[in-house]
Structure 1
C-alpha cells in the first residue's frame, strides 16, 4: 500500500499538496488497488442517474480518485524511467595505454623462480629482453626475438604464478624461462595481462628500462633497440 505524507493528506514525491478538507488520502503502489473504489463509484453513479443533485455530491470522490490514479502513475514512471536508461550511462572502457613512463626507470630487484623453484635474481640476467607471457605464450614471437638477439643479451620469458611456461627452442640461443610468483614484474609494469598479448621490456646492463613493448610484434619494430642493448 502507498503512504500519505507527514501531514496525512499530501504526497512525499514532490507533487502538490491536496486540500485539507479532502481528508486523509492514501496513494497505493499499484493502481489496481483502486478497482474496488472505482466499482463502488460506478454503482453510485448508476443509482444517481435520475437525481441531478447527486452528481454534485459525487464530484469530490471522483476528483479524489482521479488525483490518486494520476499520482500513482507518475510515481511508477519516476521509478522505472531511470532504470530503462541505466545501461546507456555506463562509461566506455578506457583504451589500453602503453606504459611509456617506464622508459628510463630502473628495473626493481626482483627474485623470480625457475622450473625447479630456485630463486633467480632478475637483475643478474641483464642486459635482457624480458617477455611477459602470462597473457599469451606466443611461441612464434618468442622464437623470433631469440633468433635476432645479439650475443650477450639474454631473452627471458616470465609467466605468472609458480608454473614456468615451456619456451620454444632456438638454434644457437637459449631462452631463459622463469615464473613470477609474487607478480612483482607485472605490478612494476602497471598494466594487467591481456589475453593473446605478450608484453616485453628491454633493459640495459645498468638495469635501466630502454623500451617497453606493450604488444610484442614483428622483430622489425624493435630490432634496433634490441641490438643497442649489446653496446
Structure 2
C-alpha cells in the first residue's frame, strides 16, 4: 500500500517507539486510520478529562498527514524532471581566438598514404573539406592565392578528396587522426568549409569559420606572401 522513503529523501525524525513509518503512495490510504481516530476522539470527548486525551491522537494524526505530504512531494517532485533535463547545446562560436597561435606540427597523408608535414607547406590557406568539398569555393581560393602561397585541402579520415580543376595545383591531403579539426576546436558542419590562413612562420593569421566569397578574405590571403 505504501513504501518507505527508499531514495534517500529524508523524512522528519519520529519517536523510535512508533516503529517503522511507511509513506502511502496515495494520501487517501489514510482514510481508515483517520476514521478510527475520529471515533476515538468522539468517545474521548464524552469522558472526564477527554480534552487531555485528545492531545496524543491529534498529534499522531497531524504527524501522519505531514509525513505523507512531505514524502509524496520529496519522492514525486524530482521524478517529474528526471529524464527531461538536457544540456542546452552551445551555439556555434567562430574560433577567432586561434589567430596569433602557432599551427601544431601535424603530419597529414596524401593520396598514397605518405606522411606530409603540414608546416612544410607554409605559407598556406588550409581549407577543411570534411564538411563539404565545395569545389567552387576551393577554386576561388586557388585563383586568388598569390605566388608562393599554397592552397591545401584537408579531408577527414584517410580518403583524400580530389582537388577541383584549376590553373594552379591544390595540395589535397587527409587527416586520419583529426589533429587539425581538434586544433580548430569545432566539429565539421555539413555544407560548410572552414579555412585557416597561416603565415610563413607558422602563426595563424585568420580563421574563416565559413569560407564565403573570396573578396571577404582576399587581403588576408595576399598578405601571406609578404
> TM-score of the superposition, structure 2-length normalised?
0.75
2:222 aligned with 1:227, yes or no? yes
2:212 aligned with 1:210, yes or no? no
Instruction: Tell me the distance in 1 between the aligned counterparts of 2:104 and 2:41.
Output: 92
Instruction: Tell me the distance in 2 between the aligned counterparts of 1:154 and 1:164.
Output: 17
Q: Which residue of 1 aligns with 2:77?
A: 81
Instruction: Tell me the distance in 2 between the aligned counterparts of 1:53 and 1:132.
Output: 92
Q: Which residue of 2 aligns with 1:185?
A: 180
Distance 1:178 1:44, change over 3 A: closer
Q: Which residue of 1 aligns with 2:95?
A: 99
What pairs with 1:69-218 in structure 2 (closer than 5 Å)?
69-84=65-80, 92-170=88-166, 172-218=167-213
Instruction: Tell me the distance in 2 between the aligned counterparts of 1:24 and 1:167.
Output: 82
Q: Which residue of 2 aligns with 1:29?
A: 23
Distance 1:43 1:96, change over 3 A: closer
Q: Which residue of 2 aligns with 1:8?
A: none
Give the secondary-structure state (helix, strand or coil) at the position aligned to 2:23.
coil
What are the Cα deviations for residues 23-78 of structure 1, in whole angstroms up to 9, with x where unaligned?
Answer: 4154323244873x643663686799789349866774465234213211122213
- Gaps in structure 1 of 5+ consecutive residues: 4-10
> TM-score of the superposition, structure 1-length normalised?
0.74
Instruction: Tell me the distance in 2 between the aligned counterparts of 1:190 and 1:160.
Output: 14
Give the secondary-structure state (helix, strand or coil) at the position aligned to 2:65.
helix
Would you say the 8 A contact 2:41–2:57 is kept in 1?
no
What are the Cα deviations for residues 194-229 of structure 1, in whole angstroms up to 9, with x where unaligned?
Answer: 343322111223323221112222211101111122
In the comparison of the two structures, how many residue pairs are matched? 218
Deviation at 1:114, TM superposition (A): 1.0
